[in-house]
Amino acid sequence: MSNFTPELLAPAGSLDKLIIAVLYGANAVYLGGQKYGLRQAAENFTDQELEEGVSFAHANGAKVFVVLNSFFHDKDFDSLNIFLKKLDDYGVDAVIVSDPGVIKYISENSQLEIHLSTQASCLNVEAAKLWKKLGVTRVVLGRETSIKDAALIKKEAGLEVEMFIHGSMCMAYSGHCVISNYTQGRDSNRGGCAHSCRFEYSFDDKDLESKKSYFMSSKDLEGIRLLQDFVDFEIDSLKVEGRMKSHLYAGTISKVYREALDYYDENGDFHSDNMKHWESELRKITHRAYTQASLVEPASDDSIYDEREHEDSLYTSIGTIRDVNKDAGFLLVEVKSFFNTGDTLEVLPFKGEPFEIVASNITSVSGKELTKTKPGTLVKIPYSPFATRWNLLRKRNLQ
Ligand code: SF4
């Protein structure tokens, strides 16, 4: 048994999701500020939220990494120094960067630790050595790297390696694609990717059978069955994709991978029955068919999700418990998807098995009785002694 446990790094698309990911077990989170990131459609953090997020994460033993992984034009450098100073002041643990010019600028103008973004497509020892010379301490490897190759890069280049273990993928070398630029006028490498590869396309060639297909859409990555390899090869950080995904996604992924890594710490293995349980939990969140992509062997046509545009989900994210009031006998729920009086909901605790509660009556914050809730509102449902603030609620979809 190895004494090594990788860091679990979760996406934080908003302050709420940061809190949820940390409380459900992430060791670190990554997020974007208002500029310089590659998820311009995500909520992203204001300066105040960033400061609050770092302080919450640190108080709970977690780290915060901030993405600055857009490719810069000269004018983008204008206010960079001011932003770096703020990140330093807030105590951000590292910045994630792709552009060599930005890496040089940061290493010359701040004390911030620099992680190389997956966007730089580092896949080999020589490239990693070069990035290290520029001041990078950790490389987020391209998704085309196997776990075995990652271990070699770590050993030979002498820096930390981070690998994606879960989430959506890009059919190009992480973002090096301009379909979105040309079809939607949105620049993939400046945070505007419209996920054009997920759409249905047809061949316009008289020699080819005219067939519509989703041939550019990739399945989702799932590496839970390879956890033993990640541990044995001492991969420093396991990264989950998904800053634009739901609160339920952030919480479920953090909980499942945390439980698996903690189980290993205590028992020295991942036990096959537990593995089945963790996999079944991962199938309850929105996802496409899963693949291990290139984690063991280079990805093949088996990684193409040639079915449809949308993702599948066994459960709907109902909302988050924002307050628990034992004396007044209610749970205050921030509603994400509607539910009705009498519905059975599942509470996802930070640790342990999910449990059911019944929304036998629902009232608005002003005390009005409701038969149905609306997304974006706060409602009260009956108190449960086992539910905690920030627990997530989900509901099984009718099959
Ligand atoms: S459109 Fe698809 S392939 Fe292109 S950058 Fe976006 S996710 Fe990647």
Per-residue pLDDT tens for 124-142? 999 999 999 999 999 999 9
Nearest CA residue ID for atom 7, ligand 1: 170
Residue 103 has a CB neighbour count (10 Å cut-off) of 22
Nearest CA residue ID for atom 8, ligand 1: 170
pLDDT category of residue 306 using cuts at 50, 70 and 90: confident
| Contact yes or no for 101/71 (Cβ under 8 A) | no
Measured from the CB, is residue 217 less than 6 Å from ligand 1?
Answer: no
* Atom in ligand 1 nearest the alpha carbon of residue 174: 8
pLDDT digits (tens, 9 = 90+) for 169-206: 988 887 788 888 888 888 877 767 888 888 888 877 76
Measured from the CB, is residue 38 less than 6 Å from ligand 1?
Answer: no
Angle at the Cα of 246 from the Cα atoms of 384 and 55, rounded to 5 degrees: 80
Residues of the chain with CATH 2.40.30.10: 315-396
pTM: 0.94
List the single range of 139-148, 202-211, 356-365 with lowest mean pLDDT. Answer: 202-211
Rounded mean pLDDT, 113-120: 96
What's the rounded Cα separation, in Å, for the pair 43 and 353? Answer: 30
Tokens of 60: 């709970």
Residue 340 has a CB neighbour count (10 Å cut-off) of 12
Residues of the chain with CATH 3.20.20.380: 7-303
Is 7-303 a CATH 3.60.9.10 domain?
no
Diameter of the chain measured on Cα atoms: 73
Measured from the CB, is residue 125 less than 6 Å from ligand 1?
Answer: no
81-85 contacts, C-beta under 8 A, 24 or more apart: 81/109, 83/33, 83/35, 83/36, 84/109, 84/110, 84/112, 85/110
Angle at the Cα of 105 from the Cα atoms of 31 and 6, rounded to 5 degrees: 40
What's the rounded Cα separation, in Å, for the pair 213 and 210? Answer: 10
If we measure between CA atoms, which residue out of 84, 11, 74 comes closest to residue 47?
84
Residues 6 or more apart whose Cβ sits within 8 Å of residue 19: 53, 56, 390
Q: Which CATH superfamily is domain 315-396 in?
A: Translation factors (2.40.30.10)
